[in-house]
Amino acid sequence: MSRILLLNKPYDVLCQFTDAEGRHTLAEFVHEKGLYPAGRLDRDSEGMVLLTDDGSLQHCIAHPKHKLAKTYWVQVEGEPDDEALQRLRRGVELKDGVTRPATVERMETPPIWDRDPPIRYRANIPTSWLTLTISEGRNRQVRRMTAAVGYPTLRLVRWAIGPWQLQGLQPGQWRELPGDEVGAFLQRCTRLAAPRPGAASRTRRAPPDKRPREEKRRR
């Protein structure tokens, strides 16, 4: 039976099990063998990482074509106005192209763990929290999106991936999904990967012979 673990990755931990430079890794918190992260989460970000022992599940979770929503709680510098939120909802122009439309709303300060170390506050500049959901996985995407609309990210917590949330997990803690949930998700992945009816490749017609008419007659 395939397995999926939900881990609350702490701040300053690499999303991998080994590191030649001796930095903190997932191996300090997950001692199960044969599991690998499905997707990435930056060292300076916190929150949900899914780990699995099934390559097809790993692909389904991480690949953008499956559009598995990822929800982040984002603490930003300043107080975003309505125009900034609308730009995030429409899609933001980044160096690697325009982002897909995001779902974003203001939120109250969430009742979560303190970060160690805490963020750096700037005197006389307020901070605020957003809940932001995307279905892409570009490098440092959320940070670049909020910076592009004028509100740099100070703290980033991935709260949910698809239907799963961090509820009840403290930094470094994990829980394993029940087998029936894993099976149902695997079936969903299989359906998404199956070719659509009528999408079978059609035989391409050969291009017309464009040689001069006299050359055709000599054949």
Question: For residue 108, what are its two tokens?
Answer: 């109250």
Question: For residue 175, what are its two tokens?
Answer: 């829980």
Known catalytic membership, residue 12: no
Q: Which residue has the higher pLDDT, 34 or 66?
A: 34
Distances (CA, A) of 71 to 46, 49, 80, 105: 12, 12, 18, 11
- Mean pLDDT for 125-150 is 95
- Mean pLDDT for 80-89 is 97
**Per-residue confidence (pLDDT) for residue 136, from 0 to 100:** 87
Q: Do domains 1-68+162-186 and 69-161 have the same CATH topology?
A: yes
Q: Which is catalytic among the residues 42, 81, 82, 116?
A: 42
Q: Which residues contact 145 (CB under 8 A, 6 or more apart)?
A: 88, 92, 94, 99, 102, 132
**Per-residue confidence (pLDDT) for residue 195, from 0 to 100:** 63
Q: Which residue has the higher pLDDT, 192 or 168?
A: 168
CATH homologous superfamily of domain 69-161?
A: Alpha-L RNA-binding motif (3.30.70.1560)
Distance CA 37, CA 192 (A): 21
- Running DSSP on this structure, what letter comes out for residue 134? E
Q: Say whether domain 1-68+162-186 belongs to CATH 3.20.20.70.
A: no
Backbone angles phi, psi at 5, to 5 degrees: -110, 140
Domain ranges of the chain: 1-68+162-186, 69-161
Half-sphere exposure of 82 (CA within 13 A, CB side): 0
pLDDT digits (tens, 9 = 90+) for 87-122: 999 999 999 999 999 999 999 999 999 998 999 888
